[in-house]
Each structure stands twice: as C-alpha cells, then as structure tokens.
Amino acid sequence: MNTTHTPRIAIIGAGPGGLTCARILQEHGITATVHDVDASRTARDQGGTLDMHPDSGQHALRAAGLLDEFLAAARPEGQQMRLVGRDGRILFGAVPPEADTTEGNPEIDRGQLRDLLLDSLKPDTVRWGNKLTRVEPLGDGVHRLHFADDGTFADADLVIGADGAWSQVRRMLSDAKPVYTGVTFVETGLSDADRRHPGLAELTGAGTMMALDNNQGFVAQRNSSGHIRIYVGMRTDENWHRQAGLDFSGTDTDTEPDTAAVREALLGEFTGWSPALLGLITETDTGFTNRPLYALPVPHTWPHTPGVTLLGDAAHLMSPFSGMGANLAMLDGADLARALIDSPTIDQAITAYEKTLMPRSVEAAEGAAEGIDSAFAPDSAVQTLAHMTQRH
C-alpha cells in the first residue's frame, strides 16, 4: 500500500475475522487498532466449538502464520458426526478418517481460537471497553469514531466493521437489519460429561450429535475439557419465552433465568422424545440461555463507500447451519488484509476485496437458509439423514 502517511486502520470487533485481519496486516508491517465493546478478553463466554475448513479457516490461519499453533490445539476427533432419531436410536454415524488434520475440518473451541489470535498480536493492539456509538464522515474517506466512554474519539482512514450481527458500522453502508429465521436455540451444557453424565457422553460421541424431527431438535457438541455444549432447537415464535412467562432477558442474558421453569417448559415442548435425549434438558449443569437465530436478507450488498467496509457477520450474518460462519469471517479478514497489502490505495483495496466478498457471501447465505429450513421442517429427520448420507 503506497500512501503518503501511515494509514490509520480501525477494526471494530475482536472476533476471529477482525483479529485475523489485524494479525496478517501486522505481519506485513501495517498497524491496525482493534476496538471491542467487551471490558476484557475474558469478559464473556466465546461460545462452542468450530470446525476449521482447509480452504477458508485453515487458509486464513496459514496466511496469519498460525496454522501450526492451530493444529497443536485442534481436535481431529471432533469431526465425528452422528444423527439420532427422536427414539434415541443412532441412525447415522461418520467417523473422521485416520489422516493428517489438514485433510479435514478439525475442531477447536471458539475461546481457544480467539486466544491464539489475541496472543499473536502486539500489546495494545486491542482496545477493550470501546463501545462504538457513532461513525462520523469527515470527507475523503476519513471517519471519526465516537465511543461511549466520556466522549472518546479516534480518526481512521479505514473503518472495518467486524462488529457482528448488530453491527454499528453496517449502518454507514446499508439499511439491512437481521431478520428472525423462525428458529430459536436454548443453549445449555454438561460439565465433566464423561464422568458425571456417561450416558449422554456416549450418546453424543466424540464430535457433534444431532437429533432432528418435526421442527424440533437437539444439537450436542463436544468441547475441550470434557464439556458438552447443548442447543435445544425449535421452530417457534421469536417471543415464545415471554409468552410462556420465562425469565429470559435476551440473546445474551445478564440475569439467571428460572432454571426449573425453563426446564419444565422445554420438557413440555419435547413431549414424546426419548428419555435418553430428554436428559440433555434434565441433566444440565450450566443453566439456560435463549438464542433466537437471525440472518441478514440475501443478497446483502452495499454501495462502494470510501474508507468503510465490512467482514464476517456484519457483512453476511447467516444461520449456523451454513457451517461457514467463523471460517468465512476469517477468510474475509485474510482477503481484506491481502488486498490492503497488495493495492496502491485503500480505496482500490476495498474495491478488490468487496468484488470477491459479495458473490461468495450470497452463495454461503443461500446454503445456510436452505440448511436451517431442512433441519427444522416436518420431515427434518429424513432430509438430514439423506444429506448426511450423500456427504459421507
């Protein structure tokens, strides 16, 4: 990048995509500052496990010089997939081949991946506790970022919106807002599962177990340290919990819900399911969090705007049934960094990056919409079994 002064690059959001971009730029002598709303790197749980694909997530990690560190932390056994009927019978199981981890999609906890990326950055790259409230255009592609803490602001030649589903930066480029998919997950978990919950640990297997039928289902994922993360899913009204009088306060609730009441309500929703699978509701150790699933309209595009662009969920929020969320965000981050390194100007870099980003985002989002619609459908078990059999 040939500029008359050192470019001021601001990345909003310290998720996998934004951190990947910052790391690759740093490796090529370009400084970027990452602003994140969280008070610290440990302020909240980072979520479940991720499978890193060779042509996206692993590709980005290789570009960041972190592939070896990833492979050392990854779990190849986590690629195991299992489909279970509502009666508790195993309908399909796929065990990953005995091969080098780069041949498949090895799993890693989100928190471990984020720590790997954070630890690779220079001190003070990430500014914690910076809640962006407004982006003010100053002309010639320069923007002023206003933060919530006592009127703090920073000017940037490039603002990269990596700030997730409810992106503040996206408002500069697009009127699009996330739309409820019709499916809600209630997240819970099992701690020290092999010792404390051996039956459910055996049912889950080494990777991911899914039981889907008639617009409902369970997804159980192995995480590290013996933890199993559980998603109890159902096609339902976005405000189902309020209608049921349950004590949830939102997608990232700060108050403990009435666990007993949530458990009773979920058991009522899953009447007729196997007692073995209902154990994923009755035996939980971690409480419950309500997570309605949202997606941006497809296609989501925006007019070229000097000095601003998007990556990850800010650009193409989609359901987790794409299997591409974090992978695509990291590929976005790697491609944007590469464009900035190779292009003469920031504006040319944005143009080149968005030319690649938008078509692949549409393809992935369409696949995600099809995935969630088939997983939570009247004949979801049949559709999922057919899909998994074709893949394996």
Residue 69 structure tokens: 């560190």
> Residue ranges of the chain with pLDDT lower than 50?
99-101, 250-254, 385-386, 389, 392
Q: How far is CA 183 from CA 67, 217, 240, 244, 267, in A?
A: 35, 11, 11, 16, 17
Residues 111-140: b if buried by 16+ CB within 10 A, e if exposed: bbbbebbbebbeeebbeeebebeebeeeee
Report the distance separating Cα 10 and Cα 161, nearest Å.
9
All structural domains of the chain = 9-44+51-75+107-177+297-375 (3.50.50.60), 179-294 (3.30.9.30)
**pLDDT at position 390, please?**
52
**pLDDT at position 250, please?**
43
**pLDDT at position 100, please?**
47
Stated pTM of the model: 0.92
* Inter-residue contact 4 to 346 (CB < 8 Å): no
Q: What are residue 187's DSSP bridge partners?
A: 231, 289
